[in-house]
Chains A and B, each alone.
Chain A
Amino acid sequence: MAKKESTFLNMFLTLLIVTAISSLAASAVYNLTKGPIAEVARLKQQKAIEQVMPGFTSYNEFKVMPETGKDSLIFFKAFKGEEEIGVAINSYTYVGYSGLIKIMVGFQPDGAIENVEVLVQKETPGLGTKMAEPKFKDQFVGKNLADFNNHEILVTKDGGVIDAITAATITSRAFCDAVNRAYRALEENKKENK
């Protein structure tokens, strides 16, 4: 089959050359696709902001470190012309059934929730994935966390007002966790800017 002798030098060189060429090829394709990949991410983000904060004409983006959690949240202060119409917050939780869930929450200037959109999730299809359906997430629309104990929103099992998805309590709780994280950061941010 192979006509080349299996000396150590031959083996080492072959592997080295093949790896080098592979890496170069990968690098070339990476550079080609870098643009489209970034564009896909940007469009997704834009679409998510539009869904939770409709009618904006421009936005300011900045990062905020929440009290709990490893990563920062991204704030999008949305404007319609000169007027601030609210803040969209890219929030997350790690306690989903399959781990990370990322959502975009739109808050009106008075802190009431305009809308929520799911960005990233790997929950169980047919169960946890139902969190993206209106039946579940529309429960959050119009709620103002300032009206609740500890300014947090919870599932009914934990004494709150949100009806969890049947057989997907963990996902439902995680969703609330993400919303709460966003609201706490919003409150903190408001206090700092006073």
Chain B
Amino acid sequence: MNQMQNFTKGFFKENPVFVMLLGMCPALAVTNSAVNGLGMGLATTFVLVMSNFVISLIKNLIPSKVRIPTFIVVIASFVTIVDLSMAGFLPGLHEQLGIFIPLIVVNCVVLGRAEAFASKNTLGSSIVDGLGMGLGFAMALTMLGAVREIFGNYSFFGYKFIDADGILVFILSPGAFIALGFLIALVNQITKKAKA
């Protein structure tokens, strides 16, 4: 496939959250607002692009049997970098995302792309794949966050459009599951119609 297809596949056709059902933990946990979803999505994109880059670079130097632990360590170092940078420069977001920043290291999207793509493709393709998948992930999280925030807090990206308490369940745990379930159904319908 060409690089354009490589880049865009992460948005709908192979969207990590809606289609491949990966990276659910952060998708459910930090999407209580649109900005949190977006922040997490971008942080994950950074880790994804950087780890895809490094892993694609060193793929021929790694013995096959240790490749998973090696990938994980590479990913862990970028996660640490993101974690520290956010603590120093984006403290508000860092506090909101909390424990889910270090948990990027076990985000199945990141390890999944390293194993399925970066370890088998060229440097350029891997970076594009990382970018596409990462931004697709970010898009999914922002969408879920926006839905939950609109119904749960009557606000959008922090801008409150109805001055009242929203439907609380949407920003609590059950709301995350239910909102994601309906979003997946919706996306499935849209992609089915697009194919037809």
A and B: direct contact (Cβ < 8 Å)? Answer: yes
Residues of A within 8 A of B (CB): 1-7, 10-11, 14-15, 18-19, 21-23, 25-26, 29-30, 32-33, 35-37, 39-40, 44, 122, 124-127
State the main secondary structure of chain B at its contact with A: helix
* A29 contacts B85, C-beta separation under 8 Å: yes
The reply on B164 being an interface residue by CB < 8 A is: no
Which of A6, A22, A29 makes the CB contact (< 8 A) with B64? A6
Indicate if the CB atoms of B73 and A19 lie closer than 8 Å.
yes
**Residue picked from B59, B65, B67, most chain A C-beta under 10 Å:** B65
Residue pair A29, B171 in contact (C-beta under 8 Å):
no
* Given A124-B172, A126-B172: A37 in contact with B63 (beta carbons within 8 A): no
Q: Is B84 engaged at the interface, CB distance under 8 Å to the other chain?
A: yes
A4 touching B74, Cβ below 8 Å? no
Whether the pair B172, A125 counts as a contact (CB closer than 8 A) is: yes
What are 25 A-B pairs with beta-carbon distances under 8 A?
A: A1-B119, A2-B59, A2-B64, A4-B60, A4-B62, A4-B63, A6-B63, A6-B65, A10-B63, A14-B62, A14-B66, A14-B70, A18-B70, A18-B73, A22-B76, A22-B80, A29-B80, A32-B84, A33-B89, A36-B88, A37-B84, A39-B88, A40-B88, A126-B168, A126-B171
Number of A-B contacts (CB under 8 A): 91
> Which B residues contact A (CB, under 8 angstroms)?
32, 59-67, 69-70, 73-74, 76-77, 80-81, 84-85, 87-89, 91, 98, 119-120, 152-153, 165-166, 168, 171-172
Q: B88: which A residues are within 8 A, CB to CB?
A: 33, 35-37, 39-40
Partner of A29, one of B60, B67, B81: B81
Is A25 in contact with B77, judged by CB distance below 8 angstroms? yes
Verify A11–B74 contact, CB threshold 8 A. no
Q: For the complex formed, measure the closest distance between the CB of A29 and the CB atoms of chain B, giving whole angstroms.
A: 5
Q: A1-B59, A22-B74, A26-B81 are in contact. Are A126 and B165 (CB under 8 A)?
A: yes
> 7 nearest interchain CB pairs?
A36-B88, A22-B77, A33-B88, A6-B65, A6-B63, A11-B66, A26-B80
Task: Please measure, in the bound complex, the distance between the C-alpha atom of A1 and the C-alpha atom of B87, giving whole angstroms.
Answer: 38
Q: Mostly helix, strand, loop or mixed at chain A's interface?
A: helix
Which listed residue (B59, B69, B84, B98) contacts A122, Cβ 8 A? B98
Let me know if A125 and B69 touch, CB within 8 A: no
Instruction: Please give the distance in Å from B81's CB to the nearest CB on chain A.
Output: 5
CB neighbours of A1 from chain B (8 A): 59, 64, 119-120
B49 CB to nearest A CB, Å = 16
Bound-state Cα–Cα, A37 to B165, Å:
34
Contact with B60, one of A2, A21, A39 (Cβ below 8 angstroms)? A2
Chain A residues with CB under 8 Å of B80's CB are: 22, 25-26, 29-30
Q: Would you give the shortest CB distance from B79 to chain A, in whole angstroms? A: 9
* Chain B residue at smallest Cβ distance from A38: B88
Instruction: Report chain A residues within 8 Å CB of B67.
Output: 2
